[in-house]
Amino acid sequence: MWPVGAGVDPLTVPVAQLYADFAVREARGASPTYERLSLAIARDPELLALLARLAAPKRQPNLLLAVVRLLGGPVDDASSFHDFAVTHWPMIEAELHGRATQTNEAGRCALLLPVLAAMPQPLALLEVGAAAGLGLYPDRYSYLYGDHRIGTGGPVLDCALTGTAPPTRLPEIVWRAGLDLNPLDVTDPEDLAWLEALVWPEQRTRRDRLRAAAAIAAADPPTLIRGDLVDDLAPLAAQAPAGATLVVFHTSVLYQVPVSRRVLFFETVRALPGHWLSVEAPDVVTFPGLPAPPDHALHNVVALDGRPLAWARGHGQAMEWLPAGAAGP
């Protein structure tokens, strides 16, 4: 069995470093607005002191910035942001407590497709940490891997794929279900407004993609169960139809789950029949001997049944396949 590790809890990262890292490793090249703002927050003692009083998961840059935008606050100018945040802190704090980062990125299906298309069909998909369930429709979207196009419907998911041949078919999905602590409903305008606030300011393409994927989900809503990925996984998996390949998958979820619960999740998912497909940061699901990522940008690891297959950019925009035998003990 592959020795998957559960990483470390990010409780000890100082808030200033959290914001500086987010600016450089995530926002740079994707959102100049968030890069500028996060760097300013990293040097703002008053805001840092307010953030430091929060529980660690509530200090996340993505969460604060989305909450301020949801409340109509300014993000274009650091000094206006500071004034708004300090003046409205009680309201911001209440929203931070009541919400989690639930960015639902259909683009991550471009990372799942090469793996799903290679499995025995048909498939039964079970997504843990599904948010609004937009990851449950990889058969309804179109894909562009370089100039290789697959599919005709939905948003076109553009992914620079290297190191392996692009998939040649869409998967056949006969059952789909999602599990989330707080499922979102794409037919509810308030939930949709929160999902849109989580998309970074300049990312018009992502906003369009979210709306197009949400329309697909709204036309045929997924089964989304409110529950925990350890406690409620096995009973939901038992509902998958016999005769379909069960695939339990998750993308950018486990960083929100304490390490001790990650370990229990690994045990639970490995005890199920079928496959386990994971797309998570390398400090969240760890693999011994993993080669260096392609560059300094934040990359996730795509892994099947605990075996690393590829490096991937956070929103599904690029995927670099690992050479066979590149990682491992």
Ligand X SMILES: C[S@@+](CC[C@H](N)C(=O)[O-])C[C@H]1O[C@@H](n2cnc3c(N)ncnc32)[C@H](O)[C@@H]1O
Binding site for ligand X (CB under 6 A): 100-105, 108, 128-131, 135, 179-182, 228-229, 251-253, 256-257
- What letter does residue 213 receive in the DSSP assignment? H
d(CA 195, CA 213): 12
Query: Degrees (nearest 5) of the Cα angle 302, 261, 16?
Result: 75
User: C-beta of 127: minimal distance to ligand X in Å?
Assistant: 7
CA separation, residue 55 to residues 65, 185, 217 (Å): 16, 26, 33
Token pair for 158: 């553009």
User: C-beta of 131: minimal distance to ligand X in Å?
Assistant: 4
Q: Which is nearer to ligand X, 100 or 327 (CB)?
A: 100
Residue nearest to ligand X (CB): 129
Q: Which is nearer to ligand X, 31 or 103 (CB)?
A: 103
Q: Are 75 and 201 in contact (CB under 8 A)?
A: yes
Query: Degrees (nearest 5) of the Cα angle 16, 19, 25?
Result: 130
Q: Which is nearer to ligand X, 103 or 245 (CB)?
A: 103
User: C-beta of 49: minimal distance to ligand X in Å?
Assistant: 26
User: C-beta of 216: minimal distance to ligand X in Å?
Assistant: 14
User: C-beta of 329: minimal distance to ligand X in Å?
Assistant: 29
Q: Which is nearer to ligand X, 50 or 285 (CB)?
A: 285
Q: Which is nearer to ligand X, 202 or 228 (CB)?
A: 228
User: C-beta of 256: minimal distance to ligand X in Å?
Assistant: 4
Q: Which is nearer to ligand X, 181 or 263 (CB)?
A: 181
Q: Are 280 and 250 in contact (CB under 8 A)?
A: yes
CA separation, residue 183 to residues 36, 105, 129, 167 (Å): 32, 14, 8, 30
User: C-beta of 241: minimal distance to ligand X in Å?
Assistant: 23
Token pair for 45: 């003692």
Sign of CA dihedral 154, 159, 162, 163: negative
User: With 0-12 CB in 10 A as exposed, 13-18 as middle and 19+ as buried, what is 327?
Assistant: middle
Q: Which is nearer to ligand X, 1 or 55 (CB)?
A: 55
